[in-house]
Structure 1
Amino acid sequence: MTIPVSIFGALRQNSFWDHLISGFTILGISLPSFWLGFLLLLIFAVTFPIFSVVESGSIRSFILPLFVACNADCCFHHPIVQGHSSV
């Protein structure tokens, strides 16, 4: 996911999309993973019950933990792939 998004932002430097992707990258690096996990559980499992919290064995119970676990790495690698040396 990091490579296509980074290439998309690199091809459109200093555009709205580049700034939006960079903003989400900074937010993803800055936000602690336990807080992101709590917010995603609150939004997608309690408020809008799209994903389950306790159901084991189904793919729906693995999506949120996988997203939280991969988020920081993807956000960290984005500036490297895009060619920025600021992070």
Structure 2
Amino acid sequence: MPPARAMWYVMQSVQSKYSLSERLIRTIAAIRSFPHDNVEDLIGRGADVNCMHGTLKPLHCACMVADADCVELLLHHCSLGMRCLEDGWH
């Protein structure tokens, strides 16, 4: 694969994951950009549950809207990556 095409693929992949992660935050906060989004589906499609959006992560957002089921789901997926609980804050 030529270097330019490989770089395009990497950039497209990163953009796609960011878009899914942005949609995850909006879905948790009930700001539906895409009416049929749900948290489990977005995570299954590759949304990064540890992605920062400003000063928030999806877990912070789920806590702020008091969605216990979503918090449990995100904690499960965060613990798979082990980045969410390293120091108790990030």
The higher radius of gyration belongs to 1
Task: Output the TM-score relative to the length of structure 1.
Answer: 0.30
Using CA pairs under 8 Å that are at least 6 residues apart, name the structure with larger relative contact order, 1 or 2: 1
TM-score, structure 2 as length reference = 0.29
